[in-house]
Structure formats: C-alpha cells, structure tokens
Amino acid sequence: MPSVPPRVAALAGMLAAATGTEPRVTRAPGAVRVEAPLPSPLSNALHSTILMTLAHGDRFGHEVGADGIARVWAEIDHPAPTRKSTDMAEPADPGAPGDTEYRTLITHTSECAACRSDRAECAIADRLSRAWRAARQ
C-alpha cells in the first residue's frame, strides 16, 4: 500500500498501542479507514484510552463481524481540508519549522490530566501552543 498521510499513521500507531494489536488500514472512497480488534477483557481505563484514540478520526465506531470478533474503527477524510497557517495543523514534514514544538505540545496534552479532562485551563499547554505557533512564523 502506498504511504499513508501522517494523521492516518498517527491514528494507526495510537490504536496499536491502545489495543495491543496491529490495526488494518484500508482506503475507502473519500477516506482512509483504520480498524483493530478490541482486546478482551476491556477495563474502564483501556475503554477510555481507545475512545480518546478513536476521537482523532473524522468518524468512528464499533462493530462485531460475522466472525464474532468485535472491532473498532475510525475514518479520516481524504484529502484533508485546507487549513489556515494559524490552525493547529501537523507540520508538513519532520524537519518543518515548529515540528519539535508541535510534538512537545501533543505529548503534553496527551499526558496532562488537566488537558485530558477539559475542565481546567492548562498554562503549560497554553505556553507550548504559543511557542509552536511562534516557531512556525
């Protein structure tokens, strides 16, 4: 399969880490689909992690196949919508200006309890976001 967009690769990597399986990536008309079997048993923490991962897609869901295996899936529209330079878009390539700052911001927001709860302002995320935007100028 030809290379996949960075957003699809990131989703597949996060889903692999969350489920402990190798996700299947397929192309559909207008979208790329990433799906993986659900692990069993499924703890509350793992359930939350998988849902947060799936939320990175444009659509996501859960289905049980004819084989009886429960799978989760997420689709990412292709091509991606055009974004303004001030939007929170992924850098074009790993050497792009702001790439290090972007990765630091994403790592922080995925690990910070305040960022993940959506209940509190996070001064660190705000500072990292400003640094990332400044680096892209």
The pLDDT tens digits along the chain (137 residues) read 456 678 888 999 999 998 999 999 998 888 999 999 998 888 888 888 899 899 989 999 999 989 999 999 999 987 644 444 444 545 455 566 677 777 777 777 777 777 665 555 778 877 877 787 787 66
Q: How far is CA 52 from CA 11, 16, 30, 40, 104, in A?
A: 11, 13, 23, 18, 19
For position 43, what pLDDT does the model report?
A: 84
Radius of gyration of the chain (CA): 16
SS3 (DSSP) at 85? coil
For position 119, what pLDDT does the model report?
A: 54
To the question of pTM greater than 0.85 for the whole model, the response is: no
Q: Which two tokens stand for residue 97?
A: 């200006």
Task: Report the alpha-carbon angle 88-115-16, nearest 5.
Answer: 75
